[in-house]
Amino acid sequence: MLAAMQAALTDRDYLLGSEFSMADTIFGGTVRFMLQFKMLEPLPVFVAYAERLSARPALKRADARNAAVIEQHGLKR
């Protein structure tokens, strides 16, 4: 499975090539979650992909909203 994940991201910015797609929303969220909780080895291909996703303006806005809710409710992150 890890080899397939690596192959899907090797030599491309996103799963379907150079353009972000809905597939990246689902797969990328999973990769980010797994990296955050150390469920996935932080191989360069996964870390670079997560960084590309994190740089997207929409994800920055979503992360900021999530952080605000976490803070508002006194939850630990």
pLDDT confidence of residue 47:
98
pLDDT at 76 over 90: no
Helix (H, G, I), strand (E, B) or coil at 20: coil
Average pLDDT over residues 39-54: 97
Residue with tokens 């969220």, as numbered in its chain:
29
Residue 17: strand, helix, or coil = strand
Instruction: Evaluate whether 17 touches 23 at the Cβ level (below 8 Å).
Output: no
Residue 25's Cβ-count burial label (10 Å; 0-12, 13-18, 19+) is middle
What proportion of the chain, given as a percentage, has pLDDT over 70? 99
